[in-house]
Chain A
Amino acid sequence: AQSVTQLDSQVPVFEEAPVELRCNYSSSVSVYLFWYVQYPNQGLQLLLKYLSGSTLVESINGFEAEFNKSQTSFHLRKPSVHISDTAEYFCAVTYTGTASKLTFGTGTRLQVTL
């Protein structure tokens, strides 16, 4: 069965500092990987995705994630965070032929402070 592990339930960081949110998945076949962000009292929004091609993917607000097949990881990074990045971040995986049926990790709460 597919699974996703987010090792850190909470990550506190100061504004303008770099951050990395870790995500590992279990797989022996091709995978499609996503990061979603959830702001308070809202639904989830897609942040970025890896479907194929370049292993480094970027979002419009400065986040990036690198697909590492050998380590089965898809860590999310940002070189300089802002207060507005405070939210919960979910890593998700689906496999070829599963029709968008995503398996989510347990989430990482990113708390940015001054």
Chain B
Amino acid sequence: NAGVTQTPKFQVLKTGQSMTLQCAQDMNHEYMSWYRQDPGMGLRLIHYSVGAGITDQGEVPNGYNVSRSTTEDFPLRLLSAAPSQTSVYFCAAGGRYNSPLHFGNGTRLTVT
């Protein structure tokens, strides 16, 4: 069972470059979200989606865009990378309301 798949696993960008982090799920879950993990800060919610065509901002949305054209995919776009966006990014998928989230294995991004 694939669950939640994130690509790439590692990425190095230069300041100002753009890129898209991919996330795909095969569990037909309505809810998907993006978190970033930084030392000593836990996981912070960037954007989330409660279904295809519906997205909303989380705690730290600045500098990131998302779209949800299908149930399966939820890409995260960095329009102009900054060193402050160096982090580990996790995508998650889950059922509605209070069911547990299933996480991908993360993308480690370094911006120089």
Contacts and interface: CB of A to CB of B under 8 A. Distances in A.
A binds B: yes
Q: Is the interface of A mostly helix, strand, loop or mixed?
A: loop
Interface in B38-90: 40-45, 48, 50, 58, 90
B105 A9 contact: no
A32 B96 CA distance: 13
Contacts of A106: 40-42
Contacts, number: 64
Contacts of B58: 101
Nearest to B98: A32
A43 B43 CA distance: 11
A94 B90 contact: no
B101 interface: yes
B53 to A, nearest CB: 15
A100 B95 contact: yes
Q: Which size class do B's interface residues fall under?
A: 20 to 34
Given A43-B105, A44-B103, A102 B45 contact: yes
A87 to B, nearest CB: 14
Interface stretch (A12-20, A45-53, A59-67, A72-80): A45-53
Chain A contact patch, size range: 20 to 34
B33 A101 contact: yes
Interface string A29-63: 00010101000011111100101000000000000
Contact of A100 (B4, B99, B106): B99
Contacts of A45: 103
Contacts of B98: 32, 51, 94, 96, 100
A43 B103 contact: yes
Nearest to A90: B42
B104 A43 contact: yes
22 contacts: A4-B42, A6-B42, A36-B103, A43-B90, A43-B105, A44-B90, A44-B101, A45-B103, A46-B100, A90-B43, A98-B97, A99-B97, A100-B95, A100-B96, A100-B99, A101-B58, A102-B43, A104-B42, A104-B44, A105-B42, A106-B41, A107-B42
